[in-house]
Structure 1
Amino acid sequence: MVDTKSPSKDETRASDIYDTMRDNLIRTVDEFAKVQPQYSQSISNLQLDYIQTTKNMIQTAFAAQKQYASIWNIPSVPYGDLFTRQSNEMTNNAIRSVGINNQLTINALDAARENLKIYNRTVDAVTDFSTNVAKAWTTFFAQQQAQFTRQ
């Protein structure tokens, strides 16, 4: 009769190899996870510096334009009020559009996170199922082999 309880030397080595590979991959992912907050902070700092530089560039450009206009006594624009009102409306619409886009992006990222959680649960369920199938086949073949050797 075949003893299905104690693994052979080859089975133990195969199991050790899988354990080692799993542990090494997990260690690698953990190393990526350690530096992720630093990457996020660096990217965030770069974005903030970019925003500040853009604002500074806009302020400087328009300050120069105003200075030239005052030096050269450029007359007032006949449709200045209309232009100002339309410019404000366009800016408000653009800001609302950005807000809507930001919310859609956040919703998409949240949905992606939820999908990853579902994927994780699916992988666990498929792994459990495969393990149960392998155990059932192993038990079945062990019983068949035991029955065959008795005859």
Structure 2
Amino acid sequence: MSETERAGRSIFDIYRDSVVNMINEFDKVRPAYMQSITNLQNQAIDSIRKLTELTLSAQREFIEPMRLPAVPEAWIRGTDELNDALTKTTSIANKVMIASIDTATQNMKIATDACETFARINQNIIKSIRSTFMPTRESS
């Protein structure tokens, strides 16, 4: 852009360009940001899985030589039922969270569309006021 073009820009053009540039920079880094979050989540799950296996293995090596009595069937059944209930609860909670995020996304789109419509109405009102009360130099 030449010096003449730069000098003729309004404060609104300069402000708009600055804001749009910042938004574009955020947008450029978004895929890498999301991938980093996914990598962190994957690593956390892998770490929890490995540490759980290591902990249980160490506990087993310590306890098994003691030859404790077998666990009663009712206790095993209760534990299985509890595990099933926790799994179902977690699954439902995850579905609710995903639906909430999807709803928030849809609401953001609706709000953006409403703001866009409102801005256009305001622009039309301003144009109407200007044409009625502030005639252009060419009309005078």
- The TM-score range, normalised by the shorter chain, is 0.7 to 0.9
Q: Which amino acid aligns with 1:116?
A: M
Runs of 4+ residues over 3 Å off in structure 1: none
Q: CA RMSD in A?
A: 2.4
TM superposition score normalised by structure 2: 0.84
Note the alpha carbon deviations across 1:35-61, whole angstroms, 9 max, x for none: 111111111111111111111111112
Letter of the 2:76 counterpart: T
Secondary structure of the corresponding residue to residue 74 of structure 1: coil
1:90-138 CA deviation, whole Å, 9 max, x = no partner?
1111111111111111111111111111111111111111111111111
| Residue of structure 2 in register with 1:132 after alignment | 124
Q: Cα offset for 1:87?
A: 1.1
The equivalent residue for 1:120 is 112
Say if 2:134 is the partner of 1:142. Answer: yes
Structure 2 unpaired stretches of 5+: 1-7
TM, length-normalised to structure 1:
0.78
C-alpha separation in 2, matches of 1:118 and 1:75: 62
Partner of 1:8: none
Q: 2:43 aligns with which of 26, 31, 49?
A: 49
Counterpart of 2:4 in structure 1 is none
Aligned 1:61-140 pairs, distance under 5 A: 61-77=55-71, 79=72, 81-140=73-132
Structure 1 runs not aligned, ≥5 long? 1-12, 144-148
Structure 1 or 2, whichever has the larger Rg, is 1
In structure 2, C-alpha distance between the alignment counterparts of 1:142 and 1:36, rounded to whole Å: 46
Query: 1:30 deviation in Å?
Result: 1.0
How many pairs were matched up?
133
Aligned pair 1:32/2:30, yes or no? Answer: no
**Structure 1 residues 82, 142: closer, same or farther in 2, change over 3 A?**
same
